[in-house]
Amino acid sequence: MFHADAGVLDPDRAMAAMLRLAAVRGADIRFDTPVTHLAASPFGDGALVHTDSGTFTAPVAVIAAGGWLAPLMGEMVRLPALEVTQQQAFHLAPRGPYGDTPWPIFIYRDAADHFYGLPGGRDGEVPGAVKLGEHHGGTVTAAAGRDGVVHPAGRERAIKFAAKRLPGLDSQPVNELTCLYTTTPSEDFILDRQGPFVIASACSGHGAKFATLLGEIIADLAAGKPPPDPRFTLAAHLGTIRPNV
């Protein structure tokens, strides 16, 4: 089964645009500031966020930490089982007359393969490169324990798939990388608030596709509004309520 989206999204440009808009609206954006510990304020008036460069206080803290969610929040909030896997992605160069035509975003799934593709962005190495990844199937790891090594078997599956299904691309990667998936048992997102913390695990490999909508939902949760759908609450993930499906 093949699904394609004719609209082309460059993930790097999209992220840069969102950061720029946030800064214009007053956000204090800090890179290279890892969070080491989270806690509720002992005075009951917010959250404490401890980092290597100091402690920040806020009425509400949004925790959208991907594979680091359980290490940061697991002692304060009961979470569902979260599987962290190291995934692999490969950048393929267009060839022939396809080099000047933007490729659509696509998802391909059949009994043998489950791959996705999207514009390669700054990691693509060559103009028009397509990022090809296998949905799931990665090595189980921990966020702090990933080795960053691309496994040969995964590379061969990607090359074989590209040679068979993507004749407009050179099947030999021009670049390769690893990334993390954090997957819930149901593959649903976690979008909920517990005390001064908004827990946002927009995970299972498809969170980035909904970035702008998720931003609105997370902002609403931080402002005290209820979760938009019970299926994304912690209670639904933990089986204490039946979600609407």
Residue 13 confidence (pLDDT): 76
99 pLDDT band (50/70/90 cuts)? low
Q: pTM for this one?
A: 0.84
Q: Is the pLDDT of residue 10 over 70?
A: no
pLDDT at 6: 44
CB 81 within 8 A of CB 110: no
- What is the sign, positive or negative, of the torsion defined by CA atoms of 48, 50, 51, 54? positive
pLDDT tens for residues 78-89? Answer: 999 999 999 999
Q: Is the pLDDT of residue 96 over 80?
A: no
Tens digits of residue pLDDT in 129-156? 999 999 887 899 999 889 999 999 999 9
Residue 3 has pLDDT above 70, yes or no: no
- Domain range summary for the chain, segments of one domain joined by +: 2-6+88-183, 33-82+187-237
Section 236-242 average pLDDT: 80
Q: Which pLDDT does position 9 carry in this prediction?
A: 55
Residue range 33-39: mean pLDDT, rounded: 94
Residue with tokens 């995964």: 154
Residue 205 makes CB contacts below 8 A (sequence gap 6+) with: 87, 135, 136, 181, 183
pLDDT per position as a tens digit, 169-193: 999 999 999 999 999 999 999 999 9
175: β partners? 91
Report the pLDDT averaged over residues 53-57: 94
Express as a percent the part of the chain with pLDDT over 90.
69
**Which CATH number is correct for 2-6+88-183, 3.30.1360.70, 3.20.20.370, 3.30.9.10, 3.40.1190.20?**
3.30.9.10
Q: Determine the pLDDT at residue 167.
A: 92
Separation of alpha carbons 41 and 72, rounded Å: 15
> For residue range 113-126, what is the model confidence (pLDDT) as tens digits?
999 998 888 778 88
Say what the pLDDT of residue 244 is: 52
Fold of 33-82+187-237: FAD/NAD(P)-binding domain (3.50.50)
Predicted pLDDT of residue 2: 45
Tell me the pLDDT tens digit for each residue of 217-237: 999 999 999 998 999 999 999
The residue that leads in pLDDT, 245 or 136, is: 136
